[in-house]
Amino acid sequence: MPIPVGSQVPFPESFALNTERLVPRPDSSGQNFSSPTELTPHVPGDPIVSLDPADVSAHLSAQLETRLLDELYDRLWLVARKSGHSIDALHVQRIKGRNIVPSEDPRLHLVWQHDKIYIKPLPVSLLNYDFWATYLRLPEKKKADATSSSSGSVIPNFDRSVAVGFLRSYAFLINHQLDFILAKDSRLIPEDVDWVKWSKFINNFRKLEDNHVAKRYHYGQLRLSRLNWVVRLFRPQHASTGWFYEIPHWSITEYVTWATLPFLFMFASISLALSSMQVALSVPADGLWFQRPDGSGLRYMSRAFWVFSIGVLLLSGVIWMLLLGIPLLVLVWQISWGFQKREKETRATGNSNV
């Protein structure tokens, strides 16, 4: 059963995966048949959070908002593909050698590095129909204006598109039954949800386009190493440090270990180059190639040592050019790729507005 994009709740009530009641339900005669004892007095899945609108808004902000990525939104095109569909399913993540790491920090959701990807577990409240109908409704301007004018304080409203985008990311992460099994093994979804119910629930979110979700979900997976460079270059206010999007190591020993190998390589390569230079200079150049070697074979050995030393110097130079040139080429390619994507999106937007 498809649900229109403008519906107050983006899934039918019969597809809800959490059936706790937050508000009284009327029967056919219009009388409320839910007694107060049957109503859940807290946010589903979070018993310490009351159903007060201010508390719910603060809770959703802590659970789902990504202020740092929102601040970096206009620069993310330099380091990532602007497509919310660019999300690998969980079984594909495993094929690529990435471990699934659950994280309750929403800014780490869909961020990956090397052999792991961080994914935020699905909040139970987003599976509840009453919760969407009460706290994640579409904004009503007239009603909001009347509420703010009649009372001295304005109740904060949570941006519904953030929740919609978060659920859409799960629609791409869990696309097959194998993905569903991996999600349960990683404690990403509740244990009491089965595959059939999940498929019916999540199907509507899979059909949404980027213009229906929050800005962060205009992008899919994000590489942590590239996010670190964006933070270093643009110094956003919401970053906890000016060097990292997320601190990779929590012990000084790991940083020393990480820095030791490059220093050892530099020391060894420079020492080898200096030794090769010393050998090459110590061999007399006069008659090295055109004079007839004497019977002792010393000139043959001198020529071999000289050739080997020059070869070592050339090889060292090539290696250093590759070590310095490849990252520079990758950086230039990344920036040019970002500009090309940016120009295509600008042209497509201009054509659509005509």
| pLDDT-based confidence at residue 286 (cuts at 50, 70, 90) | low
| pLDDT-based confidence at residue 214 (cuts at 50, 70, 90) | very high
| Triad 91, 213, 80: Cα angle to 5° | 60
The pTM of this model reads: 0.75
The percent of residues above 90 in pLDDT, for the chain, comes to 42
| pLDDT-based confidence at residue 197 (cuts at 50, 70, 90) | very high
| pLDDT-based confidence at residue 312 (cuts at 50, 70, 90) | confident
pLDDT at position 287? 57
Side-chain half-sphere exposure of 203, counting CA atoms within 13 A: 12
**Maximal CA-CA distance, the chain:** 119
Q: What is the pLDDT of residues 38-52, one digit of tens each?
A: 788 899 999 999 999
Contact 53, 135 (CB under 8 A): yes
Identify residue 81 by its one-letter amino acid code: R
Pairing of strands 46-50, 42-43: antiparallel
DSSP state letter for 110: T
Could you tell me which of 85, 339, 330, 109 has the C-alpha nearest to residue 224? 109
Q: What sections of 72-209 are H helices per DSSP?
A: 90-95, 129-135, 141-150, 160-173, 177-185, 195-206
pLDDT at position 144? 45
Could you tell me which of 160, 97, 176 has the C-alpha nearest to residue 125? 160
Domain ranges of the chain: 13-24+35-140+157-234, 252-343
Q: What is the pLDDT of residues 79-92, one digit of tens each?
A: 888 888 999 999 99
| pLDDT-based confidence at residue 34 (cuts at 50, 70, 90) | low
CB-based contacts of 183, cutoff 8 Å, min separation 6 = 90, 173, 174, 189
pLDDT at 296 over 60: no
Distance (Å, whole) CA 83 – CA 78: 13
pLDDT at 294 over 60: no
